Amino acid sequence: MSFDPMTVTWRLWTLWAVAFVAFPLAGVMAQAATGGISDAGRALIGGMIVGATLGAAQFLVLRSVLPLTPLWIVASSLGLGAGLVVATHWLGTATDGNALLWRALIAGAGLAIAQYLLLRPVLAWSEIWLVTVTLGWVVGWFITRAVGVDLAPKWANFGAAGAITFQALTGIALFVMLRLSVLVVR
């Protein structure tokens, strides 16, 4: 295994929790650039901005324990951009009903697949990441809508409550993968 289990400390988990700040930052930047996700072109731009911002925050934390390169940022940008384009093309931009959650599933899967392809060679059990990020994206949007965030601006990503939940879910998944990887090494 490429990482040193002794470097997995509370500092990692603290930084992972704080990285949730990338979500509102990404949302504001995407909104400024696109004016909202109203078509596939804006979905690509917004998704790439959000993916790059989140990917950068994750990379800054993960590089302390995993041999990842800045390609993580590029893959995150392209994955979320492509996922959001496909989701918007197929399902439109409505934020009521189940369309939002199906769109979240597709966009989250785009992000998850892109990151999984880079995580798979360096971390055992990376399938956990694939599932957690995909479903975490849906949960993030569900919570954002449930707490009453105004979705009329057609945000490219979910709000702070959803972001905190997403970070918690992916943090737990990361913890499990790192611990399982230690068991594989021994």
- pLDDT confidence of residue 8: 63
Query: Structural domain boundaries of the chain?
Result: 5-149+157-185
- pLDDT confidence of residue 185: 45
CA–CA distances in Å: residue 97 to residues 27, 89, 91, 144:
22, 17, 11, 14
Distance CA 89, CA 42 (A): 11
- pLDDT confidence of residue 186: 40
- pLDDT confidence of residue 96: 87
Q: How far from each other are the two terminal CA atoms of the chain, in whole angstroms?
A: 10
Q: Where are the alpha helices (DSSP H) in the chain?
A: 10-18, 22-34, 40-62, 71-91, 99-119, 127-146, 160-185
Query: pTM for this one?
Result: 0.93
Asked if residues 122 and 67 have their Cβ atoms less than 8 Å apart, the reply is yes
Local mean pLDDT, 10-residue blocks, the chain (186 residues): 56 91 97 97 98 98 94 98 98 93 98 98 95 98 96 95 97 92 58
- pLDDT confidence of residue 4: 53
- pLDDT confidence of residue 106: 98
- pLDDT confidence of residue 23: 97
Q: For residue 183, count CB atoms less than 10 angstroms from its CB and return exposed for 0-12, middle for 13-18, buried for 19 or more.
A: exposed
- pLDDT confidence of residue 68: 96
Distance CA 93, CA 37 (A): 7
